[in-house]
Structure 1
Amino acid sequence: MRLHTALLLTLALAPCAAIVHAQNTPLPPGTAAPPDAPASTSTAKAGPQPGPLNIAEEKLDARDYAGARAVLLPYLSAHPGDARALFDLGYAEDAAGDTAAAEAGYRKAIAADPKQFEAQAALGLLLANQGRRTDAVTALQAAALLTPAPPDPAAQAQGNRTLARLLEPSDPAAARRALIAALQQSPETPPDTLLAAELAAAAGDTDAAADAYGKVLAATPAGSPAQAEAAAGLAHLLIAAKRYPEAEPVLRKALASNPQSPALNSELAEVLSAEGKPEDSIAVLETLHAGHPDDSAISTMLADLYTQTGDLDKADTLYQQLLATHPHDATLLAAHGDALVRGKHFAEAIPVLQEATRLNPSDGNAWSGLAFAASQAGQPQLVLDALAMRSKVMSETPATYFLAATACDSLHATKRAVELYRQFLSVAGSGFPDETWQAKHRLIALAK
């Protein structure tokens, strides 16, 4: 049986590498070399082969997929259980763009020979290209337990690399094992190092993750996707550790070669904001937003910064746009409500914050905002109701004692108001001079 090696097309889920299989054909076109790449020229043989299969596989090597199919169909009519021929037909169907027929061919090959590594690997890669993560994992995990005939570490490494990428979001530990297996089977590549960094970060090993990101930065050319991804990953670690002065030069260096990168620009805006440079951060985000007006994450960051810097009309415009497409996003509603409160639009803020707290009753800050808005709008019972809900998820503060005291005062619940004013004064310190003056004078008035 002759063997061939073909370069895989770049998978969205994993980097590509060469892979060998047990037929005289490349792996499926969803994972094979582009049309202008040279055909495989391997001539290894495992023994004499039936004439029709050799002919079909030579046509597959020459990318004459229709011709190969024309040979394979009559052959399979006479030999329906031939796993090798079923695999070849699956490949021919895949090359013709009929992925359903290709999948069927691969599955028939596996049914005919469950130990055929090549069919399991081809099926897994085909499913991965289709975004069918769960099915792809099942196929590639099965392939990982098999051995190509003859052995081909590069083929096994590619399957394990793809498996590692597929497992990364749901099972980092299993992804790490798959990556280790791949590295035992073939040399390490920059995408491997990036994945290792991501897995280390997910496991909480920030030192190992930072080292791996640094290794990629040192080994890849400026402006390459790997450079941008490594810089973004390293900056994320530094931001999480609040090491903003270290993160900024990493990001600026990467942006010199990748000025339009949304990830790098977003992280730079976050760093600048954390460093107390909100205007610089807004400038970065405004440019980014102009190029990506439909990116909700960018719009949300910009709206939040507008709120923080007091540009409330711009913030309100962005929140309205965001909520038009995400009307049930509790976080957006709470942020919009906060902007309305800061703009003293208390009556408008109340229904927005009520909806936010209905969707997410555990958001203590939204309950605080609702209580304050209700206080300013003259709705004391709503103040008390909101504070009661807030107390279930957050501790009391001087501000909550004062809001509750004034609400009870307005409702003529004198005894409770006196208790709350006294609680406020016991914890207020010097941070609330106006409220302290008001509390003291109300206690005098209520004592009469």
Structure 2
Amino acid sequence: AMQLDPKMPEAALNLGILLLNDEPAASIAPLQRAVELLPTQSRPRTLLGLAYEKLTDHKNAANAYEGALALDPKDTETSLHLAQLYFREGRAQEAEAKFRVVLATEPESRAALAGLGESLEAQKKSEAAEAYRNYLNVQPNDGAVRERLVRLLLANEKYDEALAEMEKSEAGGAPSVESLKLRADILIGEKKWADAIAALKQAVTLAPNDARLRGGLGRTYLQQRDFANAEKELKTAIQLDAKNLTYWKDLASTTYLAGEYSTTLALLDRVAQQEPPTAGELFVRALCYDKLQQTKAALDAYEKFLGADQNRNPDQVWQAQQRIIVLKKTLEKRK
């Protein structure tokens, strides 16, 4: 009866549309029937693609969308659905091409502009920043995309541009902890330690129990050779998150540079309880023993460093070799 009644293709299509949102699985059969009865129309294929997509059947969804576009290449709605599907499937290059098709007809499509930026970023293409800017021209209040742009510029070491975008995001409102962290990351990239410290201190007032924030502030103080404040912040970070060995290691670096060699050795012992020491940690341990005039311990530590380093750090290797010669002579004299 469906073949004899010319209205039946519309009935199948309408039934599919009716079921699409709430019962996508039930909509598949009538939409497939509509595709068969309307082979020259793209719309039933697009709707079938939407149904498959709701069921996370991405392969059949892509096939349906591609079939629709073969019939109507200028269908921007279907191109957008297919572009977004390609992107979710990790097919960034194909997604980029489809987003560009949409933008050729609808240059201010927010979804296409954002999708183009994401697909370019996924391919590590430099045009991603410009694509995000184009999106923000149309949707200037999208803080998430602006943050994405800032992080992209930061990763590409475009610090001035990143700061300029930060200013836009903070205009007219109080900065958040996350925005202050991001600002600090940019300033650290520029080696503007004092400004970075100011941003991190402001963030700490908003989130005093954020261990990563305290640790980052401690590391930044260390860059300024402000050992007292570095030690204070890193100890606070350890109190908040004692399992994070990075804070212990940074504190060991701080105490070593401050000339607190016994404290440094105790901190290195604490780290060594959790993981095997690195060549760098063995070298610092040797230097501490050396500074404390613990000759035998220093000699052993230098030799362990040489075994671990395998000549990857020639300057330190040379220094260790020279100290080994001197320390051996010192021990010989004591006999």
Instruction: Identify whether the pair has TM-score above 0.5, normalized to the shorter chain.
Output: yes
Note if 1:195 corresponds to 2:84. yes
Which one-letter code corresponds to 2:123 in the other structure?
L
Report whether the alignment pairs 1:146 with 2:31.
Answer: no
Candidates 198, 207, 225, aligned match of 2:110: 225
Identify if the C-alpha distance between structure 1 residues 157 and 316 changes in structure 2 by more than 3 Å, giving closer, same or farther. same
Q: CA deviation at 1:237?
A: 0.9
Residues 327 and 206 of structure 1, relative CA distance in 2, 3 Å threshold: farther
1:194-273 correspondence to structure 2 within 5 Å = 194-201=83-90, 205-222=91-108, 224-239=109-124, 243=125, 245-255=126-136, 257-258=138-139, 261-273=142-154
Counterpart-to-counterpart distance in 2, 1:162 and 1:318: 49
Q: Could you tell me how far apart the structure 1 residues matched to 2:241 and 2:263 are?
A: 18
What is the CA distance between 1:292 and its match in structure 2? 5.6
Pick aligned residue for 1:288 from 164, 169, 188: 169
Do residues 396 (structure 1) and 278 (structure 2) align?
A: yes
Measured in 2, the distance between the counterparts of 1:395 and 1:231 equals 45
Output the amino acid matched with 2:200.
Y
Superposed, which structure 2 residues align to 1:67-78 within 5 Å?
none
Give the corresponding residue for 2:256: 375
Change (3 A) 1:148 1:199: closer
2:207 maps to 1:321:
no
Higher RCO (Cα < 8 Å, 6 or more apart) = 1
8 Å Cα contact 2:28/2:51 also seen in 1: no
CA contact 1:228–1:258 (8 Å) conserved in 2: no
Are the counterparts in 1 of residues 265 and 285 from structure 2 also a CA contact under 8 Å? yes
Deviation at 1:162, TM superposition (A): 9.2
Deviation at residue 225 of structure 1 after TM alignment: 1.6
Aligned counterparts of 1:362 and 1:235: Cα–Cα separation in 2: 38
Counterpart of 2:121, as a letter, is: H
Find the aligned partners of 1:189 and 1:430 in 2 and give their Cα distance. 60
Letter in 2 for 1:336: L
Residue 375 of structure 1: CA displacement?
1.4
What does the per-residue CA deviation read over 1:369-413, in whole Å, with 9 as the maximum and x for residues that have no partner?
A: 22201213444354335445656568724x423321223335554
Q: In structure 2, do the counterparts of structure 1 residues 322 and 215 end up closer, same or farther at CA, with 3 Å as the change threshold?
A: farther
Distance 1:368 1:155, change over 3 A: farther
Provide structure 2 residue ranges, at least 5 long, that are not aligned to the other structure.
Answer: 1-14, 35-42, 69-74, 331-335
The gaps in structure 1 that reach 5 residues or longer are 1-17, 22-116, 122-139, 168-173
Q: Per-residue displacement from partner, 1:345-365 (whole Å, max 9, x unpaired)?
A: 223223433454566677554
Structure 1 vs Structure 2 CA RMSD = 4.6
Q: What is the one-letter code of the residue matched to 1:337? A: G
Q: What is the SS of the residue equivalent to 1:145?
A: helix
Q: Is the 1:380–1:410 contact (alpha carbons within 8 Å) kept by the matching residues of 2?
A: yes
CA distance in 1, matches of 2:30, 2:320: 87
How far residue 299 of structure 1 moved from its aligned partner, in angstroms, is 2.5
- The residue identity in structure 1 corresponding to 2:107 is P
Task: Give percent identity, aligned residues only.
Answer: 20
- Check conservation: 1:408, 1:414, Cα contact below 8 A: yes
The separation in 2 between residues aligned to 1:389 and 1:214, in whole angstroms, is 55
The answer to whether the 8 A contact 1:330-1:355 is kept is: yes
**Are the equivalent residues in 2 in contact too, given 1:157–1:183 (CA < 8 A)?**
yes
The 1:283/1:387 distance shift into structure 2, 3 A limit, reads: farther
One-letter amino acid matched to 1:176: H
2:326 is matched with: 444
Relative distance call for 1:385 and 1:321 in structure 2 (3 A) is: same
1:217–1:156 Cα change, 3 Å: closer
More helix by share: 2
User: 4+ runs of 1 displaced by more than 6 Å?
Assistant: 148-160, 184-187
Query: What is aligned with 2:181?
Result: 300
Equivalent positions of 1:99-118 (< 5 A) are none
Query: Is 1:415 paired with 2:304?
Result: no
Partners of 1:328 and 1:226 in 2: CA distance: 38
How far the C-alpha of 1:227 sits from its partner, in A, is 3.6
Which is further off, 282-291 or 350-359?
350-359
Q: How far is 1:228 from its partner?
A: 3.3
Residues 1:150 and 1:436: Cα distance change in structure 2 (over 3 Å): closer
For 1:354-373, list aligned pairs within 5 A: 354-356=235-237, 365-373=246-254
**TM norm structure 1:** 0.51
2:219 corresponds to: 338
Q: SS of the residue aligned with 1:221? A: coil
Cα distance, 1:303 vs. partner? 0.7
d(CA) in 2 for partners of 1:441, 1:247: 52
Write the distance in 1 (CA, Å) between the matches of 2:268 and 2:321.
19
Alpha-carbon distance, 1:221 to partner: 2.0
